[in-house]
Amino acid sequence: MATIPLHSLPAHNLQGRDFLDFADFTAQELQQLLTLSLELKLKHKAGVPYRPMAGKTLGLIFEKASTRTRVSFEVAMNQLGGQAMFLSGRDTQIGRGEPIPDTARVLSRYLDGIMIRTFGHEIVTEFAAYSSVPVINGLTDLHHPCQVLADVLTLQEKKGKVQGLTVTYVGDGNNMANSWLIAAPKFGINLRIATPPGYECDPAVVAQAQQLASFHGTELLLTHDPILAVQDTDMIYTDVWASMGQEEEQKQREQDFAAYQVNQALAAHAKPDYLFMHCLPAHRGEEVSADVIDGPNSVVFDEAENRLHVQKAIIVATMV
């Protein structure tokens, strides 16, 4: 089947590049990915086939469990004409201690691209250093760029633009907050992050974000005051209080984060037409109240759907 040209993908595309961290891409390249995501979504909704990945295989390495990441990547490759191969960490030699460089060298001789969802960010960076095919970060403890790109796409669809808008993240200074720190200034978004004392974002990422905000002319506010952070904001974002690997901290975190629940009282300080987003899975009654996540301002399921479309764009841009 002949492929259909994409107007948003220039000749100097991102072919062969890894997708590990927003810091590796210019603002123009990220906008290109956003535009391509929307174009691929429109083609899919219109029933227009686009299958440039025919004959190609994407390996999916999971050392952390997933619903959205696994399903969206597998469906993305299927809809693009290729196939995806699920590789559980405990079912491969990685889980038995094979050196990452050896695994990377071998798998990149079989596969056309590799997605990794794991713990330490150094795992994906080392894997990419030894892989001869593109490596995509499906999530690490430090960054989650696939999710934030889907968030920005959703924001653009719902608001008609992203530049000049204000996004507020309330909760743990985790990988979601870190990726927002790097992405926001490159998209022209003003960012506010409210975390409890002791749960701030990675200092090195913060320093990088401050430089980017200054360069791109955007605002960056880091605070422990959630009310200040959501004042007149366009979007409120949150995540679970205890991520995978932090389950033993759950009780302590429930106490430390009690004042950081996104509920109607907090959301009342945002703009009336604010959007609510969450990367999911969500714990109703903990980081967000049910009436917020299930309310009229919530776009969490549109946001989740957009994981499929942005991952298609990443695959097409790097692997075609």
pLDDT digits (tens, 9 = 90+) for 160-192: 999 999 999 999 999 999 999 999 999 999 999
Mean pLDDT on 111-135 = 97
3 located within any domain:
no
**Given 141, 151, 172, 239, which residue is catalytic?**
239
For range 269-291, the mean pLDDT: 98
Amino acid 319: pLDDT: 95
Query: How many residues are present in the chain?
Result: 320
pTM summary value: 0.95
Shared domain for 168 and 268, answered yes or no, is yes
Residue 59 in domain: yes
Query: Domain check: are 160 and 175 in the same one?
Result: yes
Does residue 119 fall inside a structural domain? yes
Is 69 annotated in a binding site? The answer is: yes
Catalytic residue among 32, 147, 156, 311: 147
Catalytic residue among 144, 192, 278, 309: 144
Q: Is 117 a catalytic residue?
A: yes
Same domain, 233 and 284: yes
Please check whether residues 37 and 183 belong to one and the same domain: no
User: Looking at the structure, do residues 33 and 139 belong to the same domain, yes or no?
Assistant: yes
Question: 201 a known binding residue?
Answer: no
Q: How many domains are contained in the chain?
A: 2
The arithmetic mean of pLDDT across residues 237-252, rounded, is 86
Whether residues 134 and 237 fall in one domain: no
Residue 102: inside a domain, yes or no?
A: yes
Q: Is residue 89 pLDDT above 80, yes or no?
A: no
Q: Tens digits of per-residue pLDDT, 67-84?
A: 999 999 999 999 999 999
> Annotation-wise, does 279 bind a ligand?
yes
User: Annotated binding residue at 175?
Assistant: yes
Could you confirm whether 291 is annotated as catalytic? no
Please check whether residue 12 lies inside any domain of the structure.
no
Task: Exactly one of 156, 234, 279, 311 is catalytic; name it.
Answer: 279
Residues 118 and 163 both lie in one domain: no
Which residue of the set 21, 31, 112, 117 is catalytic? 117
Residue 249 lies in a domain: no
Cis peptide bond prior to 281, omega within 30° of 0: yes
- Tell me, yes or no, if 279 is annotated catalytic: yes
Q: Does 231 qualify as catalytic in the annotation?
A: no
pLDDT at position 1 over 80: no
- Chain mean pLDDT for the chain: 94
My answer on whether 124 and 199 are in the same domain is no
Range of the domain at 261: 147-242+254-303
**Is residue 267 assigned to a domain?**
yes
What CATH number corresponds to the domain at position 135?
3.40.50.1370
Please check if 264 is assigned to a binding site. Answer: no
Residue 292 lies in a domain: yes
Pinpoint the alpha helices (H) of 131-240. Answer: 145-159, 175-186, 203-216, 226-230
Question: Quick one: pLDDT band at residue 206, thresholds 50, 70, 90?
Answer: very high
Same domain? For 153 and 207 the reply is yes
Q: Scanning the structure block, which residue is given the tokens 């946001």?
A: 303
Claim to verify: residue 203 and residue 311 sit in the same structural domain: no
118 and 166, same domain (yes or no)? no
239 is annotated as an active-site residue: yes
Phi, psi of 96 (to 5 degrees): -110, 10
Catalytic (active site) residue 144: yes
155 and 288 belong to one structural domain: yes
